[in-house]
Amino acid sequence: MSAAREQTETILAVGVADAAALARLHAELFEPAWDTGSFKQILTHPGCAALFARSSRTGEIVGFVIGRSAADEMEILSLGVARERQRQGIGRRLLEALIGVASRSEVRRLYLEAAAGNSAAIALYSRLGFEQCGRRRGYYARAGAPAEDAILLSLVLSPDARP
């Protein structure tokens, strides 16, 4: 087993004090990136649910997921895993943890979107029970390339599955 596979992560609730670390990781993964102020604003929203994965070996944040609820719905705003730690189950664990948080609240349906070309993410969401419910044509602007469609996905949380 490789050293990367042997590493373990702890899933923890994000606090405003983590905003700068989240902004650094987000900037490595996304363009346009959210800055520290954007994360602080999101994290102080009353409906925010945010989790991160911290490497047990290095203490670094290696992934995060942020959702925001209103009434009985939650939108997953962002999910990211450090490039060198992708495809190791961290994203799945973060999503499962957020689904658990949502299930213990009043949330009945989760929503998210993914770039149409991000087949790995779409496959992950599908394995977790998300179903395609729409498409936003040309939603993701990309520098030097045509805009990419966003695939909209949703997951109905079964009342029977609630703890």
- Chain centroid offset of residue 44 CA: 17
The sheet with strand 145-156 has its strands ordered as: 9-13, 48-55, 61-70, 73-81, 109-115, 145-156, 131-142
Task: Give the pLDDT band (50/70/90) at residue 65.
Answer: very high
Asked whether 135 and 149 are in contact (CB, 8 A), the reply is yes
Max avg pLDDT among 6-10, 111-115, 156-160? 111-115
Residue 142 pLDDT: 82
Both tokens assigned to 121 = 């993410």
Give the closest residue to 79 by CA, choosing from 114, 117, 44, 131. Answer: 114
More confident residue, 7 or 25: 25
What average pLDDT is seen over the chain?
91
Map out the domains of the chain as residue ranges: 3-161
Helices 90-103, 119-127: axis angle to 10 degrees equals: 40
Residue 115 pLDDT: 94
Per the CATH hierarchy, to which homologous superfamily does domain 3-161 belong? Gcn5-related N-acetyltransferase (GNAT) (3.40.630.30)
Taking 60 as the threshold, does the pLDDT of residue 12 lie above it? yes
Question: pLDDT above 90 covers what percent of the chain?
Answer: 82
Query: What is the three-class DSSP state of 119?
Result: helix
Both tokens assigned to 57 = 């070996």
Mean pLDDT of 122-150: 94
Taking 70 as the threshold, does the pLDDT of residue 61 lie above it? yes
Helix residue ranges, H only, the chain: 3-6, 19-29, 36-43, 90-103, 119-127
Q: What letter would DSSP give residue 157? A: P
Asked whether 41 and 6 are in contact (CB, 8 A), the reply is no
Residue 6 pLDDT: 52
The one-letter code for the residue type at 76 is I
Quick: pLDDT tens for 79-106. Answer: 999 999 999 999 999 999 999 999 999 8
Task: Give the pLDDT band (50/70/90) at residue 7.
Answer: low
